[in-house]
Structure 1
Amino acid sequence: MDKNTAEYNFVEVEKKWQKRWEEAGAFKADPIDRKKKFFIIFAYPGISGYLHVGHMRGYTYADVIARYMRMRGYNVLFPAGFHASGLPSVGFARKIERGDPATIAMLKENGVPDEIIEKLKDPYEVVNFFRDIYIDEWKKFGFSIDFRYTLCSIDLGYQRFIQWQFRKLHEKNLLVKKQHYAPYCPRCGPVAVDPSETDISRGGNAEILDFLIIKFRDLEDKSLVYPAATLRPETIFGVTNMWVNPDVEYLIVNMGDERWIISEEGKRKIEFQTGKELKVEGKIMGKDLIERRVIAPLVDREIPVY
């Protein structure tokens, strides 16, 4: 670093030109008939916390294009938006509500007073709080946005716009309604797993895996089932035995005409997926299952339980 570079005050220079741009209205896109129009906007950030350098990198691409088109003589409209509908802001508010230590510590490290943190239990307050912060940070980065034009996905006008879109799609028979699996956290609710939609908190990169349950039936009591979840059902032809944890207490639950031997965690997961409470008929230690024999399906072969 030479002497001139060492004395260069980047922050002061940035503030100087940002103020000059604002006073001159350099980024305002008022109607001008003689100019060709150009519209650009970046993907709205989900309001789930502070922006990071990855966000700014993406926004910079849009800013470069906007500036380039202005230099080519276009009347450029470059607004900004906020994605507040859906899960991000609700998830953030729930963290505050249950007193999540990491989230509260993050806010305090950024100078947020306790009275504001208390308000952030409300998702709408989360939206308003971070919307102002995002705008301030975009200005500090010098993005050439016309801040007279900002939009938010929960604004009444924007909601009407989305409703209009869906009505049009429905009129053209382009909408399909069906059931599908979605990731869900019992504590946080529905979870967004797209990296662009999540704050990458614990479990934020979860995947939906399609397991197949194979029913191994007890040799002496065919109504007693040892269910095994697998991603490789075709390997059933080479199965030699079943494994159980001798130190775990398993549950015997009623599944219609069958009784399944499953773990407490397995019961909880099935209940969450089916929405029905399973009736527990009894309990059995894993060590008491060892040396019992079961029938492997398809191959119809007796195998031991170890």
Structure 2
Amino acid sequence: MIALKSSYLGVSKFINEHQGDSSVWFDMTFDERFEEIRTWKNKTVMDLSKELYEALGRVIPNEDDTSPPKDSDDKRKAGRPKRSSSSQPATKHHDEKRHVSGSKTEKPVADWNEEELLKLAEALGELLEGRRTRRYLFEEEKDRFYRRYEDLGGNNPVGVAISRARYLMDSYEFIYAYNERAEATNSLSWFELAPADRGAIAKKVSRLHRNFNGLGTVDAELFDAVDEVDAVLRQKLNETKRKTYKPPTDTASGSSRYSLVEIFQRLQQQRDAEKAKDEELMHQLFGRSERA
């Protein structure tokens, strides 16, 4: 039971640091979660499935939700004065702590204007190199990233900034992979697609992979800002093109994380074929009207 409680509280703390989004934890692979757990330096912690975590959440109170029991009149010793309101400051501090840690009802996205996102993009240089070989982040990388973000004038708290940085890197990598595939097949690149088409793809992708929830907010300027930072790394690492860590192929489905690019490539080809048919039909109708 001690191991289960330690595991639940550790995972719960990680999720709370990422605005209560449990997908940030459970969308990681087993190896990624294992590496994150190792950084906690608690040998009693073990990996939990989502079902077990939710079951434990119904019986184990979160540390932030626990409070000292109140004294009752019948249990108070004779002659002991009733506890005064001196506990109010502690309660106030407790409420402030809960507010800072964030909850599912908070919407930090409202703080991410274009200027803030560009600051975040510039600070990604502290994270993108490690991203070549793994998806998890070391604590020292998070610290360097957030110091850089603050130096640039960033105003969002560390947990929110790191969470948004993950989404931004995922979106950048998806668009980069999409553009590579489009170039190889002489098709439209991501930002050459009509906004409606990009929106439909972003909606579809975010449903299948929550990591791409921010895909629709990455415009050409923001993508170029991240790519400029990554280009410096490509030159430093002597890469001819961007290298992205890809999780192992899911043998059950026969697809990997970025196989969606090829799926949407086929959809784009189908749309191109339909457009060609429409143009041919219009040509036939136009030709008939001229002859008439």
Shorter-chain TM range is under 0.3
Q: Which has the higher strand share?
A: 1
Taking structure 2 as the reference length, the TM-score comes to: 0.24
Greater relative contact order, per chain length (Cα 8 Å cut-off, separation 6+): 2
Taking structure 1 as the reference length, the TM-score comes to: 0.23
